[in-house]
Amino acid sequence: MLPLGEFCRAHGIRGEIKLSTNLPPKFFSEVSVVFYGGKEYVVESLRAVNGGALIKLQGIDTPEAANALRGAAYLPDSSKPELDRDEFFWDDVIGLKCVLTDGKEIGKVFEVSLTAPTPVISVRRSSGVSGGTGGSRKATSQDILFPAIKGLIKDVALGDGILLLDAETFSRVAVYED
């Protein structure tokens, strides 16, 4: 399954749902079904609005029914659209090796959370990567989280299996979990 985004809340009185998604609007016309809670829903309409999208699902015709659908929504793998060379889906970065522009390898991506307005990438640290601002701890399995903000991700080289990150920006935004 391909993450589509998050159903947030009802919009209006016809059962439309506010959708937080990173899917480019140029692909909206290709979305015919979505999955939520293990159930398949036929998409009646999907349109871009400021800060996301509005989706109307067949059989969801009231605000109450729309509000009952909150959380992660998915597309079937078969509906994954073709992307341009410089585009990617967030699930494509899972498993990539994270390397900083100073050459330091920090670990591998194991999760991308789309619940926040900005995707949050979780990396399992490589052995010996120091955490925190002082660099005094040595970690072997703790995780690093960071937002996918402008200026941080320099390159997503799917063919090479590398997510290249700006070292300076990374040092300012990374959160080290124990």
In tens, the pLDDT along 9-21 reads 999 999 999 998 8
- pLDDT category at 135 given cuts 50, 70, 90 is very low
Mean pLDDT for the stretch of residues 142-159: 92
pLDDT value of residue 27: 86
Q: What is the pLDDT of residue 136?
A: 33
Least confident of 27-31, 86-90, 131-135, 149-153: 131-135
pLDDT > 90? residue 130: no
Cα angle for residues 97, 147, 115 (degrees, 5° grid) = 110
pTM recorded for the entire structure: 0.65
CA proximity to 2, closest of 115, 80, 60:
80
Domains annotated for the chain, with CATH where assigned, are 2-79 (2.40.30.60), 91-177 (2.30.30.240)
How does residue 139 score in pLDDT terms, banded at 50, 70 and 90?
Answer: very low
Angstrom distance (rounded) from CA 9 to CA 16: 9
pLDDT tens for each residue of 33-73: 999 999 999 999 999 998 789 999 999 999 999 999 999 89
Residue 133 clears pLDDT 50, i.e. is over it? no
List C-alpha distances in Å: 88 to 33, 104, 177, 178: 21, 23, 27, 30
Q: What span, in angstroms and rounded, lies between the C-alpha atoms of 140 and 28?
A: 42
Let me know: does 52 contact 20? Beta carbons within 8 Å. Answer: yes
Query: 32: which residues sit within 8 A by CB, 6+ positions away?
Result: 42, 43, 79
